């Protein structure tokens, strides 16, 4: 017998661009990494031509994203919409 995967049919891609109110430093990077780890979707952050896995604080900080710059949150998977919304909210309210 063969079975089809429900996750293949329910997986989706979502994306949001966020203008940072503050530099992406250790505190917001830590919040993003913790939040990203709670999702099963593949999540990526893009800035200035670079893409990183947001589950790593050092990779997030290595982006060098400054206040006023735009960071794109992209996720693919069953909880992609929730992942993008959560990370975009953290980025948009970073201090």
Q: Taking the C-alpha atoms of 23, 26, 29 and 34 in order, what is their torsion angle to the nearest 10 degrees?
A: -160
Q: How many alpha carbons lie under 13 Å from residue 95 in its C-beta half-sphere?
A: 0
Catalytic residue numbers, as ranges: 25
Q: How many CB atoms lie within 10 A of CB 95?
A: 8
Angle at 86 between CA 54 and CA 8, to 5 degrees: 75
């Amino acid at each position: 017998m063969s079975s089809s995967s429900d996750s293949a049919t329910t997986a989706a891609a979502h994306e949001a661009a966020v203008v940072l109110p503050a530099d992406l430093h250790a505190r917001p990077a830590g919040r993003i990494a913790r939040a990203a780890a709670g999702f099963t979707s593949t999540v990526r952050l893009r800035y200035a031509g670079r893409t990183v896995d947001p589950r790593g604080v050092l990779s997030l900080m290595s982006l060098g994203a400054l206040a006023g710059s735009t960071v794109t949150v992209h996720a693919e998977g069953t909880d992609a919409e929730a992942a993008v919304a959560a990370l975009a909210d953290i980025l948009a309210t970073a201090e």
